[in-house]
Amino acid sequence: MARETWVGVDVGGTKVLAVRVSADGEVEAMATRPMPGRNADESAVEDAVELAARDVYDDQEPVALGISAAGLVDGAGERYLFGAHLPWRNAPVRDRIAERTGLVVVLDNDANCAAHAELVVGAGQGADSMLMITIGTGIGGALVLGGRVVRGAHGLAGEFGHMQVVPDGLACECGLSGCWEQYCSGRALERVTRVALGRHLDGPEVAAMAFAGDEVARQAFASIGTWLGVGVAGLVSAFDPQLVVVGGGVSAVGDLLLAPARAALADSLQGTAYRPVPPLVPARSGPEAGAVGAALLARDRR
């Protein structure tokens, strides 16, 4: 009998990332393709998803394919409804990719996928309640209660990135203004750096400078980290979770982001003399958490 594998594809604002996992959840292969951009044709995104997926196929086809996407996915896991960074609008993504690949496909929001990965193989193993925040181009989120991802009445729970944190604040791609992800995301990191330096650097460049000790770059991470802690404090007031797990591409810098976030969380939470502050920890499945979680959802739902 053939060895079984599952493929997960994470569709983000800047890239499409695919992984292949084994039956025990080990990541065996990884590939990325560029994202065509939010004004591209929907089919161009589907091309990128299919190509990235096939990049990680073994000599056997995978058993099933999971798709993790930044934005609103319907409760049935059939349609991508809306998102600030992707061109899909009310698009039957699950069936389109199933038709292209001939595989069983599952579709979920990226942060829901990341939370599933963390619960199964990551920092949230055994957790009853957990807040998951993914920081990439924007912010994704998921809420775990009773050991499961809360999907909400319409499948839309966990869309933390578009909570307003600044009245009449920065305009957001979603059409609103002052959204949390305008202050705490890869895009925000780039904006803060651009304002300070007068030139554009992308996120990995800012990270490299920060690790080399550059003070402007470190302050840029401190800025988005502080906003991370402020927003998490609000969500901790609302949910009172056991722990907070932070994933997504930007989280790969670790304490450059998480140390200021922990300080702001403790400073922004009511009554900390009388209540515990939950630990804020990095996602163990790393920036690939969405893709890994999508693959594990495909595995666990077959």
The yes or no reply on residue 260 touching its own copies (CB under 8 A) is no
Please, which residues have CB within 8 angstroms of residue 4's CB and are 6 or more apart in sequence?
22, 23, 62, 63
- Closest CB to its own copies among residues 181, 190: 181
Tell me the residue length of the chain.
302
Residue with structure tokens 């690949």?
101
Could you say which residues in the range 116-145 bind its own copies, by CB under 8 A? 128-129, 141, 143, 145
- Closest CB to its own copies among residues 23, 238: 238
Please, which residues have CB within 8 angstroms of residue 92's CB and are 6 or more apart in sequence?
78, 79
Interaction mask 95-114, its own copies, x per CB under 8 A? --------------------
Query: Among 238, 266, 301, 302, which residue sits at the site for its own copies (rule: CB under 8 A)?
Result: 238
DSSP conformation letters of 69-135:
ESSEE-TTS--EEE-SS---SSB-HHHHHHHHH-SEEEEEEHHHHHHHHHHHHSTTTT-SSEEEEEE
- Closest CB to its own copies among residues 62, 247: 247
DSSP conformation letters of 178-245:
SBGGGTSSHHHHHHHHHHHHSS---HHHHHHHHHTT-HHHHHHHHHHHHHHHHHHHHHHHHH--SEEE
- Closest CB to its own copies among residues 1, 273: 273
Closest of 80, 94, 15 to residue 290, by C-alpha: 15
The yes or no reply on residue 221 touching its own copies (CB under 8 A) is no
Binding residues with its own copies: total (CB under 8 A): 52
Could you say which residues in the range 170-199 bind its own copies, by CB under 8 A? 174-176, 179
Query: Among 1, 76, 212, 273, which residue sits at the site for its own copies (rule: CB under 8 A)?
Result: 273
- Closest CB to its own copies among residues 77, 83: 83
**Which window, 16-24, 79-87, 105-113, 197-205, contacts its own copies (CB under 8 A)?**
79-87
- Closest CB to its own copies among residues 219, 268: 268
The DSSP element (H or E) to which 262 belongs, if any, is helix 255-267
Which residue type sits at 19? Answer: V
Chain residues binding its own copies by CB under 8 A are 72, 81-84, 89-90, 128-129, 141, 143, 145, 150-160, 162-167, 174-176, 179, 230, 233-235, 237-242, 268-271, 273-276, 278
